[in-house]
Amino acid sequence: KQTIQEIKEKMEQGLLPQWILTDPSIYEREQEKIFARTWQFLAHDSELPEPGSYVTRWIVDDPILVVRTNDGEIKAFLNSCPHRGTMLCTADFGKKKSFLCPYHGWSFNLNGDLIGVVAGDKVYGEEMKKDDWGLRPIAQVAAYQGMIFATLDPDASSLEEYLGGMKWYLDILLGRSGGMEVRGLPQRWVVNTNWKLVLENFSGDPYHVQSTHRSTVELGISPKDPLYAGYGHQVVLENGHGINVITAQGQGRPERPPYQGLPEEMWPLFESNLSKEQLRVFAKTTVFVGSIYPTLSFNSPVHGSEGHLHNYLNFRVWRPLGPDKIEIWSWFMIDKAAPDDYKEDAYKGYISSFGPSGTLEQDDTEIWTRVAQTSKGYMARNKVLSYNNLLNYLMGFERVLPDENFPGPGIAYPTCYLDAIHRATHEHWLELISRD
């Protein structure tokens, strides 16, 4: 059996034992040591516009009810009635003054207090303390740039501390024009793969673009230059987070307009909301793609043809359903300040590329499913330290050095064709599952 120390040694050499991707005992450990103790994304502020607005979400296997109270505050509760435990609210979203349990009819207000018990005085007597039987609150809830997160761990450090240097990039993505809005509902679909695998794809894998998404090259949407998606910076951040700031300019394609092709009338907003350094990075970037550890990723691409370019933000939760199954939750977000027809075009671009039936999405899920399949075979599970079960994470290993002049936080490398984030993410994973 491979010990933690042996896995660590291999990782330090840029190698990853394949069996750890889909091993059921590893998954059990991840639930306790990672998912229950890190910050998880629940919803965007714009999904809860008024007092009484609610959405139902998941933190892995825990159903969560997210509510805006009459004071405008966001609260999150376990979506399970404290009487006999059935799911309290079964709708995806809506607006209510109170929540009524379908089993025995107890009711709860927006603050989670128990306010009604059917025949209460007669069956429980006057002595029943309603205060003891409110909804069970989630340990910590906090928001950054409209993104609402929660953690089941009362002792976890604050959200801002957890995000660390990622805040600087989130300010560009979410705060540049005064705020984003979610359009439509988050789309959801199930893929037979492991969460670590999709996380690392979004965190640090522009290298797959030219092969997995080959049709974009054949159709002339992406240039033929095999280094195309590698131009830019890969930035390793704390706590397993990472981002690729892809410039992809000037390699056989016309110079792209600044600020991801966002309309010129919005530029003054960027200038008032961002620092000089943030503006400099934003102006040159065509794609931002990255992850907030452990289960949230984002992609901010540019679609369309020259003269009709549009940009949007796609946030995704990789909700683990088991060692080899995830439910993808995908949100489309766009600047509130963008013109209406621009929003509409961008939404169509999202649906046809990264929505569940989108061409690029089909490419990716096919590949991810097959990695999970092969990771379950005898050879990949063989925990003897041979090359049988070790995967290659060696790109740029001890060869590409950080670019000290990059203005953003984190360790920034001058290329996105690099396994630096992959390695950092898996090392962080090992540290988390081996704690205590």
Binding residues vs ligand FES (CB under 6 A): 81, 83-84, 86, 101, 103-106
Q: 304 — phi, psi (to 5°)? A: 100, 180
CB of 88 to ligand FES, least distance (A): 7
The listed partner (Fe ion, ligand FES, none) that binds 104, CB under 5 to 8 Å by sort, is ligand FES
* Sole residue written with tokens 């969460």: 195
Note the Cα 141 to chain centre separation in Å: 17
CB of 110 to ligand FES, least distance (A): 17
CB of 123 to ligand FES, least distance (A): 12
Q: Which residues contact 340 (CB under 8 A, 6 or more apart)?
A: none
For the purposes of burial, counting CB atoms within 10 Å of the CB of 81, is it exposed (0-12), middle (13-18) or buried (19 or more)?
Answer: buried
The listed partner (Fe ion, ligand FES, none) that binds 86, CB under 5 to 8 Å by sort, is ligand FES
Q: At what angle do helices 420-433 and 195-204 cross, to 10 degrees?
A: 140
- Asked whether position 238 contacts Fe ion by CB under 5 A, the answer is no
Sheet of strand 242-246: strand arrangement: 180-191, 325-335, 313-322, 296-300, 287-292, 242-246, 232-236, 411-413
The listed partner (ligand FES, Fe ion, none) that binds 101, CB under 5 to 8 Å by sort, is ligand FES
CB 193 within 8 A of CB 372: yes
The listed partner (ligand FES, Fe ion, none) that binds 364, CB under 5 to 8 Å by sort, is Fe ion
Taking residue 325's Cβ as centre, other Cβ atoms within 10 Å add up to: 17
CB of 101 to ligand FES, least distance (A): 3
Cα separations in angstroms, 213 against 39, 132, 208, 288, 362: 32, 55, 7, 17, 9
CB of 360 to Fe ion, least distance (A): 6
The listed partner (ligand FES, Fe ion, none) that binds 377, CB under 5 to 8 Å by sort, is none
- Asked whether position 361 contacts Fe ion by CB under 5 A, the answer is no
Nearer to ligand FES, 117 or 279 (CB): 117
CB of 209 to Fe ion, least distance (A): 6
Nearer to ligand FES, 81 or 199 (CB): 81
Q: Return the range that interacts with Fe ion (CB under 5 A); candidates 111-119, 334-342, 362-370, 427-435.
A: 362-370
CB of 100 to ligand FES, least distance (A): 9
DSSP of 24-59: HHHHHHHIIIIITTS-EEEEEGGGS-STTEEEEEEE
The listed partner (ligand FES, Fe ion, none) that binds 224, CB under 5 to 8 Å by sort, is none
CB 58 within 8 A of CB 70: no
Taking residue 406's Cβ as centre, other Cβ atoms within 10 Å add up to: 17
Q: Return the range that interacts with Fe ion (CB under 5 A); candidates 51-59, 125-133, 295-303, 358-366.
A: 358-366
Q: Which of 47, 200, 364, 419 binds Fe ion (CB under 5 A)?
A: 364
Q: Which residues contact 246 (CB under 8 A, 6 or more apart)?
A: 206, 229, 231, 232, 285, 286, 287, 288, 289, 416
CB of 369 to Fe ion, least distance (A): 13
Residue nearest to Fe ion (CB): 364
CB 422 within 8 A of CB 200: yes
Nearer to ligand FES, 49 or 85 (CB): 85
Binding region for Fe ion (CB under 5 A): 364
